[in-house]
Structure 1
Amino acid sequence: MNLKQIILILCLSFLSESFFAQNDSLKIDTTKVKLLKIETIDTLKVSKKKEKKPAIYDPLAPSKAAFYSAIFPGMGQIYNKKYWKAPIVWGALALPVYYYQINNSDYKRYRTAYKLRKNGLPDEFTVDGVEIVSTQTLETAQEQLRENRDMSLLTGVILYILQIVEASVNAHLIQFNTDDNLTVKPQLIFDPIRIETPSIGLTFKYNF
Protein backbone atom coordinates (compact mmCIF):
# COMPACT_ATOMS: atom_id res chain seq x y z
CA MET A 1 0.00 0.00 0.00
CA ASN A 2 1.53 3.29 -1.12
CA LEU A 3 1.28 6.69 0.44
CA LYS A 4 -1.50 7.93 -1.85
CA GLN A 5 -3.80 5.09 -0.87
CA ILE A 6 -3.15 5.73 2.80
CA ILE A 7 -3.91 9.44 2.42
CA LEU A 8 -7.09 8.61 0.45
CA ILE A 9 -8.29 6.23 3.17
CA LEU A 10 -7.60 8.81 5.87
CA CYS A 11 -9.48 11.49 3.95
CA LEU A 12 -12.46 9.21 3.43
CA SER A 13 -12.53 8.27 7.11
CA PHE A 14 -12.31 11.93 8.12
CA LEU A 15 -15.12 12.88 5.76
CA SER A 16 -17.28 10.03 7.03
CA GLU A 17 -16.73 11.10 10.64
CA SER A 18 -17.58 14.69 9.82
CA PHE A 19 -20.70 13.52 7.97
CA PHE A 20 -21.92 11.47 10.93
CA ALA A 21 -21.09 14.32 13.26
CA GLN A 22 -23.21 16.65 11.15
CA ASN A 23 -26.08 14.17 11.28
CA ASP A 24 -25.83 13.94 15.05
CA SER A 25 -25.76 17.71 15.38
CA LEU A 26 -28.82 17.94 13.16
CA LYS A 27 -30.61 15.43 15.36
CA ILE A 28 -29.73 17.37 18.47
CA ASP A 29 -30.89 20.57 16.88
CA THR A 30 -34.24 19.04 15.91
CA THR A 31 -34.79 17.72 19.42
CA LYS A 32 -33.94 21.12 20.80
CA VAL A 33 -36.44 22.71 18.46
CA LYS A 34 -39.09 20.21 19.55
CA LEU A 35 -38.36 20.91 23.21
CA LEU A 36 -38.55 24.63 22.57
CA LYS A 37 -41.88 24.18 20.81
CA ILE A 38 -43.26 22.12 23.70
CA GLU A 39 -42.04 24.68 26.22
CA THR A 40 -43.60 27.54 24.28
CA ILE A 41 -46.91 25.64 23.98
CA ASP A 42 -46.89 24.93 27.73
CA THR A 43 -46.13 28.54 28.54
CA LEU A 44 -48.94 29.66 26.23
CA LYS A 45 -51.37 27.28 27.95
CA VAL A 46 -50.32 28.51 31.36
CA SER A 47 -50.63 32.11 30.27
CA LYS A 48 -54.08 31.42 28.86
CA LYS A 49 -55.10 29.83 32.13
CA LYS A 50 -53.79 32.82 34.01
CA GLU A 51 -55.67 35.18 31.70
CA LYS A 52 -59.02 33.69 32.79
CA LYS A 53 -60.53 36.19 35.11
CA PRO A 54 -62.44 34.98 38.15
CA ALA A 55 -66.19 35.42 38.21
CA ILE A 56 -67.26 38.80 39.52
CA TYR A 57 -69.75 38.71 42.36
CA ASP A 58 -72.93 40.61 41.56
CA PRO A 59 -74.59 41.77 44.80
CA LEU A 60 -77.75 42.75 42.89
CA ALA A 61 -78.33 39.27 41.42
CA PRO A 62 -80.36 37.97 44.40
CA SER A 63 -82.53 41.09 44.36
CA LYS A 64 -83.09 40.80 40.62
CA ALA A 65 -84.03 37.13 40.90
CA ALA A 66 -86.48 37.89 43.71
CA PHE A 67 -87.96 40.80 41.77
CA TYR A 68 -88.48 38.70 38.63
CA SER A 69 -90.09 35.90 40.66
CA ALA A 70 -92.41 38.41 42.33
CA ILE A 71 -93.53 39.76 38.94
CA PHE A 72 -94.03 36.34 37.38
CA PRO A 73 -93.48 33.06 39.28
CA GLY A 74 -90.65 31.02 37.80
CA MET A 75 -88.96 33.95 36.10
CA GLY A 76 -86.37 34.22 38.86
CA GLN A 77 -85.42 30.57 38.35
CA ILE A 78 -85.05 31.25 34.63
CA TYR A 79 -82.88 34.27 35.46
CA ASN A 80 -80.64 31.94 37.51
CA LYS A 81 -80.49 29.60 34.47
CA LYS A 82 -82.22 26.86 36.45
CA TYR A 83 -84.74 26.26 33.70
CA TRP A 84 -85.92 22.91 35.04
CA LYS A 85 -87.23 24.60 38.19
CA ALA A 86 -89.67 26.85 36.35
CA PRO A 87 -92.17 24.05 35.43
CA ILE A 88 -92.03 22.82 39.03
CA VAL A 89 -92.95 26.30 40.27
CA TRP A 90 -95.79 26.60 37.79
CA GLY A 91 -97.16 23.16 38.67
CA ALA A 92 -96.88 23.82 42.40
CA LEU A 93 -98.81 27.09 42.09
CA ALA A 94 -101.35 25.66 39.65
CA LEU A 95 -102.62 23.11 42.18
CA PRO A 96 -103.79 25.57 44.89
CA VAL A 97 -105.27 27.83 42.22
CA TYR A 98 -107.22 24.90 40.77
CA TYR A 99 -108.57 23.77 44.15
CA TYR A 100 -109.35 27.35 45.13
CA GLN A 101 -111.58 27.77 42.08
CA ILE A 102 -113.37 24.46 42.66
CA ASN A 103 -113.96 25.08 46.36
CA ASN A 104 -115.05 28.66 45.74
CA SER A 105 -117.48 27.62 43.02
CA ASP A 106 -119.02 24.88 45.20
CA TYR A 107 -119.14 27.25 48.15
CA LYS A 108 -121.14 29.77 46.14
CA ARG A 109 -123.55 27.06 44.97
CA TYR A 110 -124.29 25.81 48.47
CA ARG A 111 -124.50 29.33 49.87
CA THR A 112 -126.98 30.41 47.19
CA ALA A 113 -129.08 27.30 47.79
CA TYR A 114 -129.00 27.90 51.54
CA LYS A 115 -130.18 31.51 51.15
CA LEU A 116 -132.99 30.53 48.77
CA ARG A 117 -134.21 27.81 51.10
CA LYS A 118 -134.18 30.13 54.07
CA ASN A 119 -136.40 32.54 52.14
CA GLY A 120 -138.79 29.77 51.11
CA LEU A 121 -137.74 29.75 47.46
CA PRO A 122 -136.84 26.69 45.37
CA ASP A 123 -133.14 25.84 44.96
CA GLU A 124 -131.10 23.41 42.84
CA PHE A 125 -131.09 20.81 45.62
CA THR A 126 -134.91 20.64 45.75
CA VAL A 127 -136.59 18.50 43.08
CA ASP A 128 -140.39 18.37 42.86
CA GLY A 129 -140.69 19.75 46.36
CA VAL A 130 -138.36 17.09 47.77
CA GLU A 131 -135.15 18.27 49.45
CA ILE A 132 -132.28 16.14 48.15
CA VAL A 133 -129.86 17.87 50.52
CA SER A 134 -131.03 18.99 53.95
CA THR A 135 -130.64 22.52 55.23
CA GLN A 136 -128.16 21.38 57.88
CA THR A 137 -126.06 19.70 55.22
CA LEU A 138 -126.05 22.89 53.17
CA GLU A 139 -124.83 24.87 56.14
CA THR A 140 -122.12 22.31 57.01
CA ALA A 141 -121.00 22.12 53.38
CA GLN A 142 -120.62 25.89 53.27
CA GLU A 143 -118.34 25.89 56.28
CA GLN A 144 -116.22 23.01 54.95
CA LEU A 145 -115.91 24.46 51.46
CA ARG A 146 -115.05 27.89 52.82
CA GLU A 147 -112.33 26.35 54.96
CA ASN A 148 -110.93 24.41 52.01
CA ARG A 149 -111.01 27.54 49.86
CA ASP A 150 -109.13 29.57 52.46
CA MET A 151 -106.59 26.76 52.89
CA SER A 152 -106.00 26.65 49.14
CA LEU A 153 -105.46 30.40 49.11
CA LEU A 154 -103.03 30.21 52.04
CA THR A 155 -101.11 27.37 50.37
CA GLY A 156 -100.81 29.36 47.16
CA VAL A 157 -99.50 32.43 49.02
CA ILE A 158 -96.93 30.33 50.90
CA LEU A 159 -95.71 28.67 47.69
CA TYR A 160 -95.54 32.07 45.97
CA ILE A 161 -93.33 33.45 48.75
CA LEU A 162 -91.18 30.31 48.84
CA GLN A 163 -90.38 30.48 45.13
CA ILE A 164 -89.28 34.11 45.57
CA VAL A 165 -87.02 33.16 48.48
CA GLU A 166 -85.64 30.17 46.58
CA ALA A 167 -84.73 32.29 43.56
CA SER A 168 -82.98 34.89 45.72
CA VAL A 169 -81.03 32.33 47.77
CA ASN A 170 -80.05 30.36 44.68
CA ALA A 171 -78.80 33.51 42.94
CA HIS A 172 -76.66 34.20 46.00
CA LEU A 173 -75.25 30.67 46.29
CA ILE A 174 -74.37 30.05 42.64
CA GLN A 175 -71.86 32.91 42.76
CA PHE A 176 -69.70 31.22 45.39
CA ASN A 177 -66.43 29.67 44.22
CA THR A 178 -66.56 25.99 45.11
CA ASP A 179 -63.43 24.04 45.95
CA ASP A 180 -62.64 20.34 46.20
CA ASN A 181 -61.78 20.83 49.88
CA LEU A 182 -65.38 21.87 50.53
CA THR A 183 -66.77 18.40 49.98
CA VAL A 184 -68.34 15.72 52.09
CA LYS A 185 -66.56 12.38 51.86
CA PRO A 186 -68.25 9.55 53.75
CA GLN A 187 -65.79 7.04 55.13
CA LEU A 188 -66.10 3.91 57.27
CA ILE A 189 -63.69 3.82 60.22
CA PHE A 190 -63.61 0.58 62.14
CA ASP A 191 -62.87 0.61 65.84
CA PRO A 192 -60.49 -2.29 66.64
CA ILE A 193 -61.54 -2.22 70.29
CA ARG A 194 -65.28 -2.54 69.65
CA ILE A 195 -65.45 -4.95 66.72
CA GLU A 196 -68.35 -7.01 68.01
CA THR A 197 -70.48 -3.96 68.91
CA PRO A 198 -70.12 -1.49 66.05
CA SER A 199 -71.05 2.12 66.67
CA ILE A 200 -72.19 4.90 64.34
CA GLY A 201 -70.80 8.40 64.54
CA LEU A 202 -70.12 11.54 62.57
CA THR A 203 -66.73 13.22 62.21
CA PHE A 204 -65.91 16.54 60.57
CA LYS A 205 -62.44 17.09 59.15
CA TYR A 206 -61.24 20.49 58.06
CA ASN A 207 -58.38 20.95 55.60
CA PHE A 208 -56.61 24.32 55.44
Structure 2
Amino acid sequence: MPSKFLIASIFTFLFCFSTIAQEKEKKIKKLPKEVIVDSIIEIKKPFNPLSPAKAAFYSAILPGLGQAYNKKYWKIPFVYGAIGTGVYFYITNNKEYNRYRDAYKSRLAGYTNDEFYFDSEGNQLSTPRVTTESLERGQEFYRKNKDISLLVTFGFYALNIIDANVDAHLLQYNVDENLSLAPHYEFNEFDATSNLGLTLNFKF
Protein backbone atom coordinates (compact mmCIF):
# COMPACT_ATOMS: atom_id res chain seq x y z
CA MET A 1 0.00 0.00 0.00
CA PRO A 2 2.66 2.57 0.85
CA SER A 3 4.38 1.91 -2.48
CA LYS A 4 1.12 2.44 -4.41
CA PHE A 5 0.50 5.67 -2.54
CA LEU A 6 4.03 6.84 -3.34
CA ILE A 7 3.64 6.05 -7.03
CA ALA A 8 0.27 7.81 -7.14
CA SER A 9 1.79 10.87 -5.43
CA ILE A 10 4.65 11.02 -7.95
CA PHE A 11 2.26 10.81 -10.91
CA THR A 12 0.04 13.51 -9.39
CA PHE A 13 3.07 15.79 -8.88
CA LEU A 14 4.29 15.28 -12.45
CA PHE A 15 0.82 15.94 -13.87
CA CYS A 16 0.48 19.20 -11.90
CA PHE A 17 3.97 20.33 -12.94
CA SER A 18 3.23 19.60 -16.59
CA THR A 19 -0.08 21.49 -16.41
CA ILE A 20 1.61 24.54 -14.84
CA ALA A 21 4.35 24.54 -17.50
CA GLN A 22 1.77 24.39 -20.31
CA GLU A 23 -0.16 27.27 -18.79
CA LYS A 24 2.98 29.39 -18.61
CA GLU A 25 3.80 28.54 -22.21
CA LYS A 26 0.31 29.63 -23.35
CA LYS A 27 0.66 32.91 -21.48
CA ILE A 28 4.00 33.62 -23.14
CA LYS A 29 2.55 32.90 -26.59
CA LYS A 30 -0.36 35.25 -25.95
CA LEU A 31 1.91 38.19 -25.05
CA PRO A 32 1.85 41.05 -27.59
CA LYS A 33 4.82 41.51 -29.92
CA GLU A 34 5.72 44.80 -28.28
CA VAL A 35 6.54 42.95 -25.04
CA ILE A 36 8.57 40.18 -26.67
CA VAL A 37 10.66 42.43 -28.95
CA ASP A 38 13.43 44.21 -27.09
CA SER A 39 13.01 47.96 -27.47
CA ILE A 40 16.81 48.44 -27.44
CA ILE A 41 17.17 46.74 -30.84
CA GLU A 42 17.23 49.32 -33.64
CA ILE A 43 16.72 48.29 -37.25
CA LYS A 44 19.12 50.25 -39.43
CA LYS A 45 19.17 50.82 -43.15
CA PRO A 46 20.73 47.83 -44.93
CA PHE A 47 24.30 48.16 -46.18
CA ASN A 48 24.56 48.72 -49.94
CA PRO A 49 28.02 47.65 -51.20
CA LEU A 50 27.31 49.04 -54.69
CA SER A 51 26.54 52.56 -53.48
CA PRO A 52 30.12 53.94 -53.95
CA ALA A 53 30.32 52.45 -57.45
CA LYS A 54 26.96 53.98 -58.36
CA ALA A 55 27.99 57.40 -57.09
CA ALA A 56 31.23 57.29 -59.11
CA PHE A 57 29.38 56.11 -62.21
CA TYR A 58 26.82 58.92 -61.96
CA SER A 59 29.57 61.54 -61.56
CA ALA A 60 31.39 60.12 -64.57
CA ILE A 61 28.25 60.48 -66.71
CA LEU A 62 27.39 63.98 -65.47
CA PRO A 63 29.61 65.92 -63.03
CA GLY A 64 27.72 66.66 -59.82
CA LEU A 65 25.23 63.82 -60.27
CA GLY A 66 27.15 61.59 -57.87
CA GLN A 67 27.08 64.35 -55.25
CA ALA A 68 23.32 64.60 -55.72
CA TYR A 69 23.07 60.81 -55.30
CA ASN A 70 24.92 61.15 -51.97
CA LYS A 71 22.62 64.07 -51.04
CA LYS A 72 25.59 66.43 -50.80
CA TYR A 73 23.88 69.11 -52.87
CA TRP A 74 26.09 71.93 -51.55
CA LYS A 75 29.08 70.43 -53.40
CA ILE A 76 27.49 70.68 -56.85
CA PRO A 77 28.22 74.44 -57.36
CA PHE A 78 31.89 73.81 -56.47
CA VAL A 79 32.09 70.96 -58.98
CA TYR A 80 30.71 73.06 -61.82
CA GLY A 81 32.71 76.11 -60.75
CA ALA A 82 35.99 74.18 -60.83
CA ILE A 83 35.32 72.40 -64.14
CA GLY A 84 33.84 75.58 -65.66
CA THR A 85 36.97 77.57 -64.76
CA GLY A 86 39.18 75.01 -66.49
CA VAL A 87 36.97 75.04 -69.59
CA TYR A 88 36.96 78.86 -69.66
CA PHE A 89 40.77 79.11 -69.63
CA TYR A 90 41.04 76.38 -72.26
CA ILE A 91 38.68 78.22 -74.62
CA THR A 92 40.44 81.58 -74.02
CA ASN A 93 43.93 80.19 -74.65
CA ASN A 94 42.76 78.22 -77.67
CA LYS A 95 41.25 81.39 -79.18
CA GLU A 96 44.48 83.35 -78.67
CA TYR A 97 46.53 80.48 -80.08
CA ASN A 98 44.41 80.42 -83.25
CA ARG A 99 44.84 84.20 -83.67
CA TYR A 100 48.62 83.98 -83.56
CA ARG A 101 48.73 80.86 -85.72
CA ASP A 102 46.52 82.38 -88.46
CA ALA A 103 48.65 85.55 -88.55
CA TYR A 104 51.85 83.49 -88.66
CA LYS A 105 50.56 81.36 -91.56
CA SER A 106 49.54 84.51 -93.43
CA ARG A 107 53.03 85.97 -93.10
CA LEU A 108 54.67 82.75 -94.23
CA ALA A 109 52.51 82.95 -97.37
CA GLY A 110 53.84 86.49 -98.03
CA TYR A 111 50.73 88.46 -97.04
CA THR A 112 50.77 91.66 -95.02
CA ASN A 113 47.08 91.87 -94.17
CA ASP A 114 46.81 90.00 -90.88
CA GLU A 115 45.18 91.70 -87.90
CA PHE A 116 48.51 92.83 -86.44
CA TYR A 117 49.15 95.03 -89.49
CA PHE A 118 46.25 97.26 -88.45
CA ASP A 119 45.83 99.64 -85.54
CA SER A 120 42.79 99.86 -83.24
CA GLU A 121 41.01 102.17 -85.72
CA GLY A 122 41.51 99.83 -88.69
CA ASN A 123 44.34 101.78 -90.39
CA GLN A 124 47.05 99.68 -92.03
CA LEU A 125 50.54 100.03 -90.60
CA SER A 126 53.84 99.89 -92.43
CA THR A 127 55.30 97.63 -89.75
CA PRO A 128 53.21 95.09 -87.80
CA ARG A 129 52.44 95.55 -84.11
CA VAL A 130 53.64 91.99 -83.48
CA THR A 131 56.73 90.67 -85.23
CA THR A 132 56.92 87.23 -86.83
CA GLU A 133 59.24 86.01 -84.05
CA SER A 134 56.72 87.22 -81.46
CA LEU A 135 54.00 85.31 -83.29
CA GLU A 136 56.05 82.12 -82.93
CA ARG A 137 56.61 82.73 -79.21
CA GLY A 138 52.93 83.60 -78.76
CA GLN A 139 51.87 80.31 -80.34
CA GLU A 140 54.12 78.36 -77.98
CA PHE A 141 52.88 80.31 -74.97
CA TYR A 142 49.17 79.85 -75.67
CA ARG A 143 49.60 76.23 -76.75
CA LYS A 144 51.27 75.46 -73.43
CA ASN A 145 48.55 77.28 -71.46
CA LYS A 146 45.88 75.50 -73.50
CA ASP A 147 47.35 72.08 -72.65
CA ILE A 148 47.63 72.99 -68.96
CA SER A 149 44.01 74.20 -68.90
CA LEU A 150 42.89 70.93 -70.47
CA LEU A 151 44.81 68.89 -67.89
CA VAL A 152 43.37 70.97 -65.04
CA THR A 153 39.85 70.46 -66.41
CA PHE A 154 40.33 66.68 -66.57
CA GLY A 155 41.85 66.79 -63.09
CA PHE A 156 38.77 68.49 -61.64
CA TYR A 157 36.56 66.02 -63.52
CA ALA A 158 38.47 63.09 -61.95
CA LEU A 159 38.30 64.71 -58.49
CA ASN A 160 34.54 64.99 -58.91
CA ILE A 161 34.33 61.21 -59.45
CA ILE A 162 36.71 60.42 -56.56
CA ASP A 163 34.83 62.75 -54.20
CA ALA A 164 31.49 61.08 -54.97
CA ASN A 165 32.99 57.61 -54.44
CA VAL A 166 34.69 58.51 -51.12
CA ASP A 167 31.56 60.27 -49.83
CA ALA A 168 29.45 57.19 -50.56
CA HIS A 169 31.96 55.06 -48.61
CA LEU A 170 31.94 57.41 -45.62
CA LEU A 171 28.14 57.55 -45.51
CA GLN A 172 28.08 53.82 -44.73
CA TYR A 173 30.32 54.11 -41.68
CA ASN A 174 28.85 54.12 -38.18
CA VAL A 175 28.43 57.74 -37.12
CA ASP A 176 26.07 57.03 -34.24
CA GLU A 177 25.79 59.62 -31.46
CA ASN A 178 26.87 56.95 -28.98
CA LEU A 179 30.31 56.98 -30.58
CA SER A 180 32.59 59.85 -29.57
CA LEU A 181 36.24 60.71 -30.06
CA ALA A 182 37.59 63.27 -27.63
CA PRO A 183 41.05 64.56 -26.64
CA HIS A 184 42.43 63.06 -23.46
CA TYR A 185 44.78 64.84 -21.02
CA GLU A 186 46.17 63.30 -17.85
CA PHE A 187 48.64 64.76 -15.36
CA ASN A 188 50.86 62.29 -13.52
CA GLU A 189 51.42 63.55 -9.96
CA PHE A 190 54.28 61.14 -9.23
CA ASP A 191 56.78 62.28 -11.87
CA ALA A 192 55.10 65.61 -12.84
CA THR A 193 54.57 64.55 -16.45
CA SER A 194 51.51 64.86 -18.64
CA ASN A 195 49.98 62.53 -21.19
CA LEU A 196 48.00 63.75 -24.19
CA GLY A 197 45.99 61.56 -26.53
CA LEU A 198 42.59 60.65 -27.96
CA THR A 199 39.90 58.63 -26.20
CA LEU A 200 37.25 56.62 -28.06
CA ASN A 201 34.03 56.20 -26.06
CA PHE A 202 31.01 54.07 -26.83
CA LYS A 203 27.79 54.43 -24.82
CA PHE A 204 25.56 51.38 -24.44
TM-score (structure 1 length as normaliser):
0.68
The alignment status of 1:89 with 2:79, answered yes or no, reads yes
User: Which of 151, 155, 164 matches 2:148?
Assistant: 151
User: Which of 196, 200, 203 matches 2:197?
Assistant: 203
Structure number with higher helix proportion: 1
**AA paired with 1:101?**
I
SS at match of 1:121: coil
User: Which of 54, 68, 90 matches 2:44?
Assistant: 54
Structure number with higher strand proportion: 2
Q: Matches of 1:83 and 1:49 in 2, distance apart?
A: 35
User: Which of 175, 184, 187 matches 2:172?
Assistant: 175
Aligned to 1:139: 136
The alignment status of 1:124 with 2:121, answered yes or no, reads no
The structure whose RCO (Cα within 8 Å, separation 6+) is larger is: 1
Q: Which moved more, 1:49-58 or 1:140-149?
A: 49-58
User: Structure 1, residues 148-196: CA drift from partner, whole Å, max 9, x if none?
Assistant: 000000001011011101101111110112245654323555576679x
Q: Percent identity?
A: 47
Q: Matches of 1:74 and 1:133 in 2, distance apart?
A: 43
Count matched residues: 162
On the 8 A contact 2:63/2:80 being kept in 1, the answer is: yes
202 and 153 in structure 1: CA distance in 2 versus 1, 3 angstrom threshold: farther
In our comparison, the structure showing a higher alpha carbon Rg is 1
Gaps of 5+ in 1: 1-43
Q: Matches of 2:143 and 2:150 in 1, distance apart?
A: 11
134 and 202 in structure 1: CA distance in 2 versus 1, 3 angstrom threshold: farther
SS at match of 1:116: helix
User: Which of 82, 105, 114 matches 2:95?
Assistant: 105
TM-score (structure 2 length as normaliser):
0.69
Gaps of 5+ in 2: 1-33, 119-124
Q: Matches of 1:87 and 1:115 in 2, distance apart?
A: 41
On the 8 A contact 2:52/2:164 being kept in 1, the answer is: yes
135 and 49 in structure 1: CA distance in 2 versus 1, 3 angstrom threshold: farther
On the 8 A contact 2:182/2:199 being kept in 1, the answer is: no
177 and 126 in structure 1: CA distance in 2 versus 1, 3 angstrom threshold: same
Shift of 1:202: 5.3
